[in-house]
Amino acid sequence: MGTNYYFHPSSERECPHCKQDTPGLHIGKSSAGWNFSLRIHPDDGIASLADWQARWDAGGAIFNEYGERIEVAAMLATITERSWHGGLLAHTDPGAMGPYAGHLDVRRGGDTYDLCNYEFS
């Protein structure tokens, strides 16, 4: 079981006009026994944890998939203060990803997180 996290450029999850939840930008997923899977978005200028930190420092809000607001310090702790340093690396077998394998970028970002450029849940 894991938890996904999302960044919203405004401080709210819902659209001010229609009051529907907006999807947000996927930060990544925390799963027990695994490194944090930190989603990178190169087309949006996010290719590292430092890029995410700069985005968070510029404003907006972080929410988990259950709608709970997460403070930046707590998000950083979730990513960097893992009990499984050097935990399991996500999707290291390109053959397991079929036709998407040539477009995957999965690598260690640090002892406690991996950088992943693909969509996952």
The pLDDT tens digits of the residues spanning 92-108 come to 444 444 444 455 567 77
pTM for the full predicted model? 0.79
Q: Which of 58-67, 73-82, 90-99 shows the lowest mean pLDDT across its residues?
A: 90-99
Q: What is the pLDDT of residue 35?
A: 86
Which residues does 34 contact at the CB level (< 8 Å), separation at least 6? 2, 84, 87, 88, 90
Q: What is the pLDDT of residue 14?
A: 63
User: At what angle are helices 49-57 and 72-80 packed, to 10 degrees?
Assistant: 170
The C-alpha atoms of residue 78 and residue 27 are separated, in whole angstroms, by 12
Question: Is residue 62 scored above 60 in pLDDT?
Answer: yes
**Would you list the domain boundaries of the chain?**
2-116
